[in-house]
Structure 1
Amino acid sequence: MSTPRRGLRRPSKDDGPRASLRQLVPFLLEHKRVLVVVGVLSVLEAVATLVQPLLVGDVIGRVQGGQALGILVWVLVGLVVVSSLIGGFQHYLLQRTGTAVVHSSRRRLIAKLLHLPVQEYDARRTGDLVSRVGTDTTLLYAVLTQGFADSIGNALIFVGAIIAMLIIDPILLLLIVVVIGASATVVVVLSGRIRRATLEQQEKVGALASGVERAIGSIRTIRASGAEAREQDTISATAGEAYDAGVKVAKASAIVVPVAGIALQVSLLVVLGVGGFRVASGAIEIAQLVVFVMFLFFLVQPLASFFGAITSVNQALGALGRIQEVLDLPDETAKDAAIAASAASATSASTAAIEFRDVHFSYPEAVVRARRSAQDEALKTLADARAPIPEESEPEPEATVLRGVSFEVPRGARVALVGPSGAGKSTTLALIERFYDPTAGAILIDGIDARALDRLSLRARLGYVEQDAPTLAGTIADNLRLASPNATDADCERVLDAVNLTEVLERSPLRLQAPVGEAGVMLSGGERQRLAIARALLAAPPILLLDESTSSLDGLNEQRMRDAIDAVAAGRTLVVIAHRLSTVVDSDLIVVLDHGRVVGQGTHDELVRDVPLYRDLAARQLLV
């Protein structure tokens, strides 16, 4: 049975992120000196180009009059060569500047992506964000390389040609303006369609990147499940949608591109037909007609460049809309000043290392929709594969996670958070780390509202080991020094020994410089988890937050890990989340959470006696 999907609403072609030419200005101003040089070269090239028809007319006149040409021909040849050289150098500058614009836009995006609020990562797909850095920024290259930056020279050539043609024969010029006006109308009408189609194409490419990233990141699970064909079909379908959107762009562009050629051909036929009649009638001379035809080509050439620029710039603006959408998002610290001012009232003389005061928390609606969409996709995959859907599947994601949570973590104590899945345990640690801020209530760190603390200084007090224990691609040393860049090799080896990872060092002569592979694939699950704990221990913060830190360890390594944590936790505050109650029965305080509420606090013996939920959990694990 297929489950309806309730994912984030797909943006239509009319409500997606849009960008304007004004938003391109900051990217271009970063290279204003080069663009000034390009502008000057454009003017010189325009002057050299416009003089050529006049010299040709003079040459024809002299030939007809039997006069000597002198150096006139050489001047004409020189102008052609100079114009070509200027054009070549200008082309190089535009190509280089276009590459620089892509580079600067990528740097801006990377800087923004690494400082977004955590909720943005929870609400968006990673592959789509990566696509904006790679694919979308590349389209900005066309803004400079497809005639946009040298518009000054083209405008001068266009205006100069119009003036010269007006002087030579206003009637012929009027006919040309009618043809060109019709062509320009077609291009303007199609430009909006190109932009919308490009935006749709880039969104599909982003979805494709997300699908590929998901499949590659889970390739072992996919292989083990024999799901390669199904994943291939799913990703291929997304690729097909991207192809269809690309075809829409191609169709619109295919109409725009030949418009300039058609305008030139029709204009040339009009000039030759009507112009020939006017030469025969004596209205103009043959030399004037030749010069008029040359100016016609000079008129259509910048026009063709302009038409091409419309296509390229509209494609770039579609991509820029997606780039600007991310750049306009607030940084994680954007509202900290206002939050800190309002949080100052919660500061007290509390002696607890951590205190939760009637904390309520609800995830933003975008995050809830994204989680529901991901859950529905998983159920749909099971249904398509005709696989049984587990009776005890993940609960429906809810916005409200914590409901009036209050407890204290004494300084230097070991406190455990326990409860069933979905009780709000991991969310509690996320709030301490200020990945999110409470919807209501306050969290105090050493008596100070966490929202009144700078995030960097707050997190410097905390050592956090996530439930999934992520390992970064690179070396063992790279992973250990992530939070402690100045740690020595001896320090690194000490914490590795403390978590029973010395044998990992001994596998390779590279020791600390041994690679761990993509996402730590060269380590076992337990080794990755111990490496993450070693990273936190190396930083030696006053507060340690461990989320299911021993879930992937066997009995021997779990005991070794507990001994290591006991040694390091001396004099420090420790908050532990664990499903294995055997690892937390000796905690100073155990807080029991259920459906976002605290249903009990105390020692193991007290909770077994007084709290039915805890007693049931302990009985299932044979601890009572």
Structure 2
Amino acid sequence: MLSSTQRRGLRLAWRFIRPYRWQSLGALLALVITAGITLSMGQGIRLLVDQGFMTRSPHLLNQSIGVFMVLVVALAAGTFTRFYLVSWIGERCVADIRRAVFDHLIQLHPGFYENNRASEIQSRLTTDTTLLQSVIGSSLSLFLRNALMVIGGIVLLFVTNPKLTGIVVLALPLVLAPILVFGRRVRGLSRQSQDRIADVGSYVAETLGQIKTVQAYNHQGEDRRRFALAVEQAFTTARLRIVQRAWLITLVIVLVLGAVGVMLWVGGMDVIAGRISGGELAAFVFYSLVVGGAFGTLSEVIGELQRAAGAAERIAELLQARSEVQPPVAALQALPARATGRLQLQGVSFAYPSRPTPRAIDNLSLTIEAGETVALVGPSGAGKSTLFDLLLRFYDPQQGQILIDGYDLRQLDPQDLRRHFALVSQNPALFVGSVEDNLRYGQLQASDEQVRQAARIAHAHEFIEQLPQGYQTRLGEAGLGLSGGQRQRLAIARALLVDAPILLLDEATSALDAQSEHLIQQALPTLMQGRTTLVIAHRLATVQNADRIAVVEQGRVIAVGTHRQLVSENPLYARLAALQFNPEHEARTP
């Protein structure tokens, strides 16, 4: 029997098959017809033996062969129809499943990915769905076909010779028992096998994704050892599953064909004694082989169906994951076409679900006026980047509220909210595709001239033109092949194209060479003009001219003011300034 979670997985599969019920009915009809034709061939064999061979009549032989050939043609046509429809349904359903899972995953809040490895999710989206495709497009059809063959074959066995059928029926409990016993073991090992395969894929993605670090630290030997261990664990689990399935198939073959052997001996004695004809025995042997072969195939297919149930269960887990950040059910508010950009954080407290203590943000209050440039400075881990996550509503605060133009973020649809923000991060995300595709990432309708104008303002046009295909040059994963400064300038151009009223700059010029920083500093004023801007910076030289600077420590704003005010009034800021602007003096200070 299947567990409740596996039944849920099979219901998931049915949910995606149901829209194609007419194709499914056509496949089922073709399956029934082909099974019926296959079973009717037993009667054809009986007629061929009794009326064709035994009567020595050429006319009857011709008739028998003619009927046989008609059945062959009908069987071929039915098999073509069944195979095409079943394969089409399998491919169509898996395509729908992949789309549904991806569409669901891309809406989940980032916190979901803290506790779930992206590489394991990728394995579920590829390996598990491929297994489902195989089952829906092949194994399920085989299961239904062979189930019909077993049922129809047993009925025709009784019709042909009840005495001999009794021998076969007595063997059925002996066949079903190992299927139930070994099937339960195969089911559990199938789920474990899929998990081990996911571990292998996850390790490959993680290691190859950080190949420079791996090679820089000469870690290849240890990675080979760990990968070999993961592969061996996957192999060991698969071997145990194969052993159980092999025993299952072996027992079924021995028991079924053993019963057929006994039946042949009894039937042969009846033919010799004249109690039945040779045609009856030939038909009975045919049906016995059909039933035996169908049982053997069923034992194999059941293992595949159990693996599919495990795969469907894993996919169902992804589809059942719920985002903790949801648009409100009722009283949905909407921001105007373009927000002014006034932000208020009122008593905000927040801790990441995976790290409940200490709080990343602790009772923080801050107001940013429309069009104002505010810099956030403080030591690493103070909560500056977390503020950006809250403003973009990747997470909701556990206490307090955040307002944009007087609207509580919790009362806004996240997608409606985020169109008012443009983000330039410390390590900008670039995607596989052309330079132009990456620039248009936030504004798909931008014209070619708008793209090039944004690139010129960001001082990116010159280096883009020098690329092999200019704006059509395809970038590697994460912009591989571009320098940090080039990637940063592309990110600024992308933010310019979005033309959002609120700009978030997260260490936009950190870790860049002087030339790249100079070019980006030239681009930033145009980007910031007329926008509410929040800047995270460790290098105070880049934010001295901000309207205000907020000093953040341990999730709290401990001081707000201009650079000059904070140097004289706030010890933490004064110490940071001394370290960066006057290190010799700081070294002499006790």
Instruction: Give the TM-score normalised by structure 1.
Output: 0.86
Match of 1:42 among 14, 31, 43: 31
Task: Tell me which residue corresponds to 2:22.
Answer: 33
CA distance in 1, matches of 2:577, 2:6: 53
**C-alpha offsets along residues 112-169 of structure 1, whole Å, 9 cap, x if unaligned?**
2222221112222121111112111110123234442355544443223222222333
Asked if 1:319 corresponds to 2:342, the answer is: no
Asked if 1:137 corresponds to 2:129, the answer is: yes
Aligned-residue offset at 1:545: 0.4
Task: Tell me which residue corresponds to 1:299.
Answer: 291
Tell me, what secondary structure is at the counterpart of 1:363? Answer: coil
Task: Tell me which residue corresponds to 2:250.
Answer: 258
Q: Is the 8 A contact 1:208 1:235 kept in 2?
A: yes
Task: Tell me which residue corresponds to 2:567.
Answer: 608
After the TM superposition, which residues 358-507 of structure 1 pair with which residues of structure 2 at under 5 Å, given as runs?
358-365=347-354, 368=355, 398=357, 400-507=359-466
After the TM superposition, which residues 109-258 of structure 1 pair with which residues of structure 2 at under 5 Å, given as runs?
109-149=101-141, 151-258=143-250
Q: Is the 8 A contact 1:352 1:447 kept in 2?
A: no
Q: Which amino acid aligns with 2:233?
A: E
**C-alpha offsets along residues 3-60 of structure 1, whole Å, 9 cap, x if unaligned?**
xxxxxxxxxxx99988543222112223322221111112221222222222322333
Tell me, what secondary structure is at the counterpart of 2:581? Answer: coil
Q: Which amino acid aligns with 2:531?
A: R
CA distance in 2, matches of 1:24, 1:156: 22
CA distance in 1, matches of 2:5, 2:557: 43
Aligned-residue offset at 1:94: 2.3
Task: Tell me which residue corresponds to 1:355.
Answer: 344
**C-alpha offsets along residues 546-566 of structure 1, whole Å, 9 cap, x if unaligned?**
111111323343243233222
After the TM superposition, which residues 54-65 of structure 1 pair with which residues of structure 2 at under 5 Å, given as runs?
54-62=43-51, 63-64=53-54
CA distance in 1, matches of 2:340, 2:471: 40
Asked if 1:526 corresponds to 2:517, the answer is: no
CA distance in 2, matches of 1:147, 1:618: 69
**C-alpha offsets along residues 555-589 of structure 1, whole Å, 9 cap, x if unaligned?**
34324323322223222100000111111122111
Q: Is the 8 A contact 2:507 2:536 kept in 1?
A: yes
Tell me, what secondary structure is at the counterpart of 2:474? Answer: coil
Go from structure 1 to structure 2 and tell me whether the alpha carbon gap of 1:258 and 1:81 turns closer, same or farther (over 3 Å shift).
Answer: farther
Percent identity, aligned pairs only, is 33
CA distance in 2, matches of 1:323, 1:614: 50
Q: CA RMSD in A?
A: 2.6
Q: Is the 8 A contact 1:39 1:150 kept in 2?
A: no
CA distance in 2, matches of 1:153, 1:225: 57
Q: How many residues align?
A: 573
Task: Tell me which residue corresponds to 1:536.
Answer: 495
CA distance in 1, matches of 2:166, 2:20: 40
Q: Is the 8 A contact 1:418 1:425 kept in 2?
A: yes
Tell me, what secondary structure is at the counterpart of 1:140? Answer: helix
Task: Tell me which residue corresponds to 2:558.
Answer: 599
Aligned-residue offset at 1:399: 6.0
Match of 1:337 among 328, 338, 342: 328
Go from structure 1 to structure 2 and tell me whether the alpha carbon gap of 1:300 and 1:554 turns closer, same or farther (over 3 Å shift).
Answer: same
CA distance in 2, matches of 1:481, 1:17: 43
Task: Tell me which residue corresponds to 2:588.
Answer: none
CA distance in 1, matches of 2:264, 2:108: 62
**C-alpha offsets along residues 252-276 of structure 1, whole Å, 9 cap, x if unaligned?**
2222333443233212111012323
CA distance in 2, matches of 1:263, 1:478: 63
Match of 2:92 among 87, 100, 108: 100
Task: Tell me which residue corresponds to 2:336.
Answer: none
CA distance in 2, matches of 1:420, 1:351: 30
Tell me, what secondary structure is at the counterpart of 1:115? Answer: coil
CA distance in 2, matches of 1:246, 1:156: 30
Q: Which amino acid aligns with 1:57?
A: R
CA distance in 2, matches of 1:76, 1:430: 73
Task: Tell me which residue corresponds to 1:373.
Answer: none
Tell me, what secondary structure is at the counterpart of 1:486? Answer: coil
Q: Which runs of 5+ in 2 are unaligned?
A: 334-338, 586-590
CA distance in 2, matches of 1:599, 1:99: 59
**C-alpha offsets along residues 46-84 of structure 1, whole Å, 9 cap, x if unaligned?**
222222222322333335456662512321232134224
CA distance in 2, matches of 1:541, 1:25: 44
Aligned-residue offset at 1:281: 5.3
Match of 1:273 among 257, 265, 274: 265
Go from structure 1 to structure 2 and tell me whether the alpha carbon gap of 1:304 and 1:17 turns closer, same or farther (over 3 Å shift).
Answer: closer
Instruction: Give the TM-score normalised by structure 2.
Output: 0.91
CA distance in 2, matches of 1:505, 1:240: 47
Q: Which runs of 5+ in 1 are unaligned?
A: 1-13, 345-349, 369-396
Aligned-residue offset at 1:503: 3.0
CA distance in 2, matches of 1:331, 1:502: 39
Q: Which amino acid aligns with 1:158?
A: V
Tell me, what secondary structure is at the counterpart of 1:444? Answer: strand
**C-alpha offsets along residues 509-563 of structure 1, whole Å, 9 cap, x if unaligned?**
5221122322111111121122112211221111000111111323343243233
